[in-house]
Amino acid sequence: MSAESSESLSDAVSRIPPGSSVATGLALEHAIPFAAGHELARQGVDDLTLIGPISDLLFDQLIGCGAVSRVRAAWVGNVSAGTGYRFREAVENDEIDVENHSNFSIALALRAGALGVPFLPTRSLLGSDVFAESDCFEAGTDPFGGEEVAYVPAIEPDWAIVHAQRASPEGDVHLWGNTGIVGPAVGAAENVLVTAEEVVDPETIHSDPSRTAITREQVSAVVECPWGAHPSPVAGHYNRDNEYYLRYHGATDTQAAFDEWADEWVYGVDDREEYMRGVDADLSITEPTVAAEVRYGQ
């Protein structure tokens, strides 16, 4: 199969129906699939449940676009400027349901989903306010040691959306740098959409099997999408667009202001190539760090 066999972003995203639960932003501040998120908004996919750890601007943008009914996350906002305005206003107006998590409890919930078990125990939530803020957690007794533990129920998303450096058309994926909780989320999800900076021949993936973070049997769709994570960084490809985060914060403090922003950056472009023509920033990596050579052999 040639690299040209990957899908278009539009076709891949069209598989995600309204009402789906979607885990994304899983590598924390790294490799957030903004392009796929913007395509969800353009296609009018709504009533989404968004699942993630330190959920970056993408959650705030999808909420502003009216695509979200529920959030299961540890934090939503703009790490450069504070809470996302669209998320905050939606919560204050009781427009979305929020299930409060810690970063660790989201990781545990997805790990439980990947393992096929109903819950995983932890001590880390004990003594926190999370029990008062969310009714999804329960406390119980460790049957072996007798100590109190918290039970974190499994989360099994309908979709996980991941951005990576490269993938084969079959769905084998090389991902490096900060990977966060990509592994548990991919294992827990019913379907996985991978956008990649480049789709490469299978031989390229086979040349470094230890770097294969996702394998084909887990993947439903592969899309070649250069700059698909902008404004977040992608290790080895481009840096974080810090000024974008500050400009977004200043331009989206009301819904009317957000709508104007979205008309330009989401609905006003047909694809990622057109989107990037509007980005005026040098995000190139000027001092690349190259890993030591790895040798395989028979």
Structure confidence by residue, pLDDT tens digits, 71-122: 999 999 998 888 899 999 999 999 999 999 999 999 999 999 999 999 999 9
Token pair of 117 as six digits: 């078990």
Measured at the CA of 205, the angle between CA 200 and CA 210, to 5 degrees, comes to 150
User: How far apart are alpha carbons 16 and 188 in whole angstroms?
Assistant: 16
Domains, in order of start, for the chain: 3-102+156-273 (3.40.1080.10)
Per-residue pLDDT, averaged over 175-196, amounts to: 97
Conformation bin of residue 144: beta by default, left when phi > 0, alpha when psi is -120 to 50: alpha
The reported pTM is 0.94
The DSSP 8-state label assigned to residue 84 in this structure reads -
Q: What is the 3-state secondary structure (H, E, C) of 141-188?
A: ECCCCCCEEEEEECCCCCEEEEEEEEECCCCCEECCCCCCCHHHHHHH
pLDDT score of 223 more than 80: yes
Region 290-296: mean pLDDT is: 89
Query: Cα-flanking dihedrals φ and ψ of residue 174, to 5°?
Result: -95, 125
pLDDT at position 201 over 50: yes
In this model, does residue 2 exceed pLDDT 50? no
Structure tokens at 79: 């790490």
pLDDT at 127: 85
C-alpha–C-alpha distance, residues 266 and 272, integer Å: 10
Please report the pLDDT score of residue 155 as a whole number. Answer: 98
Identity of residue 142: D
Which secondary structure element, helix H or strand E, spans residue 59, and what is its range?
A: helix 57-64
Give the mean pLDDT of the chain.
94
